[in-house]
Structure 1
Amino acid sequence: MTSALDPQELGAYFAFMEASSLLSHQVEQHLRAEGDLRYVQFQLLARLANARGQLTMTELADGVVYSRSGLTYQAGLLEAAGLITRAPSAEDERATLVTITDAGLALFARVLPGHVEVVRSLLFDPLTGDDVDHLGDIMQRIRDHMRAQPPRSAAPRKRRSTG
């Protein structure tokens, strides 16, 4: 049996979760108001804009930590809106390549400044430069630790008992 979190761990956990929820809510509000986007859609556009080319659906799913089925649905919405295109890969018949369109780049460029302002005002304004360095180091260690665990989609499936 695992022991309970001590008061220091519990306080850090709840503070992190509350701050994360508050930031997520404000980011979602901004993206909906300025671009009619969900955060995961913004992440997809951001990754594609940054890639300056094509990414596979698997690369996108791994990058945004989203289920493959959920990502397929979100990509379908973005494609229907003319913000991305999807096509089969010539090199790998199992892969689907995703490309951001000019309209997708324009929307991303339009919402990005406000997104940066929300993140800066809520997350970084109360911190010093040293605080940001420490936060970055801590969050990278946590992320790397979590990413060392196989994602749920990659974990072996349990066999159903036939009984």
Structure 2
Amino acid sequence: MTDAHQPLDAAQLNAYFALMDVAGLLRHAVEQQLREAGDLSYVQFQLLARLGLDSPTGSERMTDLADGVVYSRSGLTYQAGLLEKAGLITRAPSVDDERGVTVSVTDAGRAVLATVLPGHTDVVRKQLFATLSREDAGVLADLLSPVREHMRSAPPRSARRR
């Protein structure tokens, strides 16, 4: 029997369940805050944050956004449509790829992002970091970073680059 077919040992099971519990509880608290503060879903927040905080131009190709947030392209198109209808983003044909779509954050989108960010930061700080020292947070990042890189090296089919 290969290692892949071995059951998880007690330490692995404890780590797995702890991670899933923490992720689920944190996601619930974050989603609740985003809904109350900005009427946003978590995916919509991710899109606005990637455009408004991570992108120097405030624009990205739709496929790059889907890959970055690990969300299906069709689901992302739907969420982007809701954000566009609310005036928080615009979509336009890509200048680099005739089949591609470029998504840009609007001033209204930046304003919503600025409205939800303080509460978002507060929830993350209280839920995730309240019981961790700075050193613990560094250790957690060091532990999770290679796992994230490993998992992102083989993203879900719906999020793979074309």
Q: Please, what TM-score do these two structures have when normalized by structure 2?
A: 0.92
Whether 1:47 and 2:54 are equivalent positions in the alignment is: no
CA contact (8 A) 2:92 2:101 kept: yes
Residue equivalent to 2:25: 22
- Deviation by residue 1:44-95 (Cα, 9 ceiling, x = unmatched): 0000002132100011001111000000000000000000000001221011
Q: Gaps spanning 5+ residues in structure 2: where?
A: none
Please tell me the root mean square deviation across aligned C-alpha atoms, in Å: 1.5
Query: How far apart, CA to CA, are the structure 2 residues paired with 1:18 and 1:90?
Result: 43
State the alpha-carbon separation in 1 of the partners of residues 65 and 50 from structure 2.
Answer: 8
**SS of the residue aligned with 1:98?**
strand
- Give me the whole-angstrom Cα distance separating, in 1, the residues matched to 2:81 and 2:134: 40
Residue-pair matches, total = 156
Q: Which residue of 2 aligns with 1:113?
A: 118
State the identity as a percent.
60
What one-letter code is carried by the residue in structure 2 that aligns with 1:107? V
Residue 109 (structure 2) pairs with residue 104 (structure 1) = yes
Q: Which runs of 5+ in 1 are unaligned?
A: 157-163
Runs (4 or more) in structure 1 with deviation over 6 Å come to none
Structure 1 length-normalised TM: 0.92
Q: State which of 145, 148, 151 in structure 2 corresponds to 1:143.
A: 148
Which structure is higher in RCO with an 8 Å CA cutoff and minimum separation 6?
Answer: 2
Local SS of the residue matching 1:91: coil
- The one-letter amino acid paired with 2:30 is V
Q: Work out which of the two has the higher radius of gyration on C-alpha atoms and give 1 or 2.
A: 1
Q: 1:106 to 1:25 in 2, by over 3 A?
A: same
